Amino acid sequence: MLNILNLKSLRSHDIRCDACGKQFKIKKLKSKQFKSESLKCSYFNCPHCKEIYIVSAENDKLIQMLKEVNKDDSDFFHTFPQDKKLQLLRILNSKRQLVRSYHAEIKQKAKEKLVNKER
Ligand SMILES: [Zn+2]
């Protein structure tokens, strides 16, 4: 799973629910693996109104994208001419941006599936 949010700091703070406005602390994260496709996520609910908050999500495509970024990361590390390094850095940054927006996309998808109680 992507470690986008640091769970320890997440747990120690009160969270105000966007849906009902009440405050709560996260007690435990749940995880869900959807049967219909390669999508899984971890999430928590507001204890007051049950609003769903997705912490992270992943599927095969995201894992593949992350592998590529990690490979590019190591290529970057092992490249020395400065102009080549800058070129790689630009590519790397745009790929990281793509990973972030794709992650946001599948988090949203996972939330919709949970709301619709898909299995
Ligand atoms: Zn709530």
pLDDT tens digits for the chain (119 residues)?
344 455 666 666 788 999 999 999 988 899 999 988 899 999 999 999 999 999 999 999 999 999 999 999 999 889 889 899 999 999 999 999 999 999 999 999 999 999 999 98
CA 69 to ligand 1 center in whole angstroms:
36
State how far the Cα of 42 lies from the Cα of 29, in Å rounded to an integer: 6
CA 51 to ligand 1 center in whole angstroms:
5
CA 99 to ligand 1 center in whole angstroms:
29
Contacts for 14 with CB less than 8 Å, ≥ 6 apart:
23, 24, 25
CA 9 to ligand 1 center in whole angstroms:
20
Helix (H) or strand (E) holding 67: helix 60-77
Contacts for 89 with CB less than 8 Å, ≥ 6 apart:
76
Residues, CB-to-ion distance under 5 Å, ligand 1:
17, 19-20, 46, 48-49, 51
Q: Helix (H, G, I), strand (E, B), or coil: what is residue 26?
A: coil
Contact by Cβ (8 Å): 116, 52: no
Tell me which amino acid residue 44 is: F
CA 111 to ligand 1 center in whole angstroms:
15
